[in-house]
Structure 1
Amino acid sequence: MKLKIYYQLLTGAFGAALLFSCESKDVDQAVSEEQGETVDATFATQTDEMLIKVDTLHTDFESPWGMTWLPDGKMLITERKGEILIFEDDAFTGQKIQGLPEVHEVNQAGLLDVAIHPKYDENGWIYIAYAKPFPDNKGALTIMRFKLDGTNAVDQEELITAMPEWEGGRHFGSRIVFDNDGYLYFSNGDKGNKPENAQDLTNAHGKIHRIHDDGRIPSDNPFVDEEGAVASIWTYGNRNPQGLVYDKANDRLWEVEHGPQGGDELNLIEKGKNYGWPVITYGINYDGTPITDITEKEGMEQPITYYVPSIATCGMTLVTSDKYPAWKGDILIGALAKMHINRVDMEGTEALSQEVMFQDIGRVRTVSESPDGYLYAITEGTGLLVKLLPVN
């Protein structure tokens, strides 16, 4: 049975009048996704009144992560344990993709994002990011692609593995996006217990990467000619980037990453740049001690906006649809620890104001815009797939 939830989004300091709440349950064990107090009210503003109906389409997920749509309208949603569920007409078909690779499912690691090739109609490629298992309870983020024969994953090709392999399952990222030229970008976290990975170009961790659609390394990547550097690196100094979205109209790549206790960031990702972690940060250690005594340094990028305390930023989308005129051009970010959707009112590359929406809907793992222009979100704990329907 579908559940219907209604929110009235109003002009005012807090922006959202909550008409629904639900019990939450923490899923991830890593403290980076569990921290935070109350979001600063000055971040929450709304300039346009809009009535949104939240249509709950599915209520039985186990740690959902990524979602994408096929040209025939089917929707694919990953679960971290290693499954991809198939939806049609907004309903679970009862079918799952068969024959997927074994995954290293520990904490935040497992089967993560899913995306289709920009020319899927021509080639049929589906891409996934997952933690590939290695001996001794280790895993490494891997990008692979496959095609569908009915519900079977066939013609599987492993494209790239972000080495070295790592014990445990903290800070694996990961999202996949394509740009207008067909390059594939993916995010990979610093692995948690060694933050200095993010500043070390000889490993793949704490970075955004760029490859060709078949796994080859582009010759114009920024560190391709640097001795010892991982050639796929596009940017570095990224702590745990669990959100990535490409703005096709303006050729911009946006990312959100978890800070430690405070210091979640929204970043404009640009070729070869250093985003600072752990040399600069607006966060502190979980025991309250400082990580660093600086928040700025020459040669290191400042975030477009940041969150203190943390909201636990996760999957994100850029609103391009005319169905949400008040939000068009804005960035929507899922908040895990704070259990809401965060709307960043954007003007070009500047963040003007922010709004907390749908408080207590659950740990929002990602927000996505469908090809027909509707917004969807998936949550952990509450295990929901929801569709945001504008009433007016």
Structure 2
Amino acid sequence: MKILFGNFLGFLILALFSTVTVCTPSDQLTDPDPLPDLKFTTKTAKMTIKVDTLHRGFQNPWGTTWIGEGRMLVTEKRGEILIFKDDKYTGQKVTGLPSFYTNGQAGLLDITVHPDYTQNGWIYIAYAKPVNSGGATTIGRFKLNGNSVANFEELIVTTPVWNGGTHYGSRIVFDNQKFLYFSNGERGSQNNAQDLKNSHGKIHRIHDDGRIPTDNPFINTSGAIPSIWTYGNRNPQGLYFDKANNRLWEVEHGPRGGDELNVLEKGKNYGWPVITYGINYDGTPITNITEKDGMEQPVKYWTPSIATCGMTMVTSDKYPAWKGNILVAALAATHIARVEMNGAKASGEEKLLQGIGRVRQVAQSPDGYIYAVTEGTGLLIKLLPAN
């Protein structure tokens, strides 16, 4: 039985009753196993991969990280960290976490480990901290004592506090010097992104213990938030640091159109809302210009929007045809965008796994495999080279 479909949920239902082969414009999926262990092979433009579904049942998964000995942590926005071992959910969760402000896009967001995790044991989280009746994007860190939080430290809290659930960011990455970068959305209030006196609509840079680096670009600017690294960023939900080329990459949501892929550089203005390739959700223009002196152009933009989220760069030898490509999670477009790169320039794109669900994060594990988590379909998947 062969079925053409545009909705992966429909495929999951049909898979209960029949053996299904699914065709999409860019992928050929063959012989998926019956639920609950869905596995299939897909032919992409440059290689054939196997997709292994490791877990089903997430509500709003957000971040992923690995902590050694085959263990993986996955955050749920509602305030949980699920513990996996050797690609299987252990049924256990991290206990002793702080309180979270969960409202719309706010909650427990990203998670990562310190570059020297094996020596110091620090795990970092980005989350919305409850403050009065609102929330503040916050970076904290802790260690694990078994499955319990120990030595929790709050490193930085963004300001002003916002009463609402729109555009909180947030991702965390470390660079080669072990500086920590995190993203913070502009809360749906456009002018925040250009205002250096608030934290919103910015990328921030701090030391691993929360101190402000003395060489940050606005450290000596009167009234400016000293942690700001870049500004004019709308709602950046993807960050990646390319260690080999010393580049900080970001993807951010545009409004209706105008999602962006950017290389972030110290002190630069990325334009929102003065310049954009998007329009308002009601179809009216935001601005009549897409370029302006002193404001950066994206490396790539998507119109219509795909709703960019998490991202990674393929550095693993396990995917030789994809090496150096950037993978971008697409929420609204329900796929992974494989962006071919020529240095810092985008040279092509392929949609992978169209219809898999709202892809929230895509990441490369320490042993070189690609994982992704989805909303709606609630999946944790692993991409394996077919050979």
The reply to whether TM is greater than 0.5 is yes
Report if aligned partners of 1:184, 1:210 keep a CA contact under 8 Å in 2. yes
CA contact (8 A) 1:370 1:376 kept: yes
- SS of residue matched to 1:299: coil
- Partner secondary structure for residue 320 of structure 2: coil
Distance, in Å, in 2 between the alignment partners of 1:240 and 1:146 is: 26
Within a 5 Å distance, the mapping from 1:282-321 to structure 2 comes to 282-321=277-316
Aligned to 2:269: 274
Q: Would you say 1:64 and 2:61 are equivalent positions? A: yes
8 Å contact from structure 1 (residues 7, 358) kept in 2: no
Partner residue in 2 for 1:128? 125
1:75 is aligned to 2:72: yes
Q: Is the partner of 1:167 in helix, strand or coil?
A: coil
Q: 1:6 to 1:121 in 2, by over 3 A?
A: farther
Aligned to 1:374: 369
Is 1:258–2:253 an aligned residue pair? yes
Distance across 2 between alignment mates of 1:190 and 1:134? 17
Letter of the aligned partner of 1:96 in structure 2? K
Deviation at 1:267, TM superposition (A): 0.3
Instruction: Give the C-alpha shift of residue 302 in structure 1.
Output: 0.2
Q: Which amino acid aligns with 2:266?
A: K
Structure 2 counterparts to residues 225-244 of structure 1, below 5 A: 225-244=220-239
Q: Secondary structure at the match of 2:338?
A: strand
- For 1:89, the aligned partner's letter is D
Match of 1:190 among 164, 186, 189: 186
Name the SS of the counterpart of 2:68 in structure 1. Answer: coil
> What is the aligned counterpart of 1:337 among 318, 321, 332?
332
TM-score by length of 2: 0.90
Deviations, residues 109-144 of structure 1 (Å, cap 9, x unaligned)? 0000000000011111000000001222x1000000
CA RMSD of aligned residues (A): 1.9
Deviation at 1:72, TM superposition (A): 2.0
2:136 paired residue number? 140
Between the two proteins, the alignment pairs up a number of residues equal to 360
Partners of 1:6 and 1:53 within 8 A in 2? no
| Helix, strand or coil at the partner of 1:326 | helix
1:327 aligns with 2:322: yes
Answer whether contact 2:70 2:87 (CA < 8 A) is retained: no
C-alpha distance in 2, partners of 1:5/1:160? Answer: 50
- Of all paired residues, the percent bearing the same amino acid is 67
Aligned to 2:158: 162
Higher relative contact order (CA 8 A, sep 6+): 1
Q: For residues 152 and 68 of structure 2, what CA distance do their matches in structure 1 show?
A: 20
Distance change (3 Å), C-alpha of 1:217 and 1:296: same
Contact conserved, 1:18 with 1:359, CA < 8 A, in 2? no
Matched, 1:151 2:162: no
Instruction: Determine the C-alpha separation between the residues in 1 that align with 2:208 and 2:365.
Output: 22
Decide whether aligned partners of structure 1 residues 360 and 344 sit closer, same or farther in structure 2, where only a CA change above 3 A counts.
same
Select the residue among 88, 91, 112 that pairs with 2:88: 91
Distance 1:53 1:89, change over 3 A: same
Does structure 1 retain, via aligned residues, the 8 Å contact 2:45–2:350?
Answer: no
Q: Corresponding residue for 1:353?
A: 348
In 1, the alpha carbon distance for the partners of 2:22 and 2:331 equals 20
Q: Partner of 1:34 in structure 2?
A: none
Is the CA contact (8 Å cut-off) linking 1:378 and 1:385 kept in structure 2?
yes
Q: Does 1:205 align with 2:216?
A: no
* Cα drift, residue 16 of structure 1: 2.5
2: CA distance, partners of 1:5 / 1:337: 25
1:5–1:55 contact (8 Å) kept in structure 2: no
- CA–CA distance in structure 1, aligned partners of residues 69 and 208 of structure 2: 22
1:32 alignment partner in structure 2: none
> Counterpart of 2:351 in structure 1: which amino acid?
V
Q: Secondary structure at the match of 1:198?
A: helix
Q: CA deviation at 1:47?
A: 5.5
Q: What is the aligned partner in structure 1 of residue 26 from structure 2?
A: 15
Asked if structure 2 preserves the Cα contact closer than 8 Å seen for 1:73 and 1:88, the reply is: yes
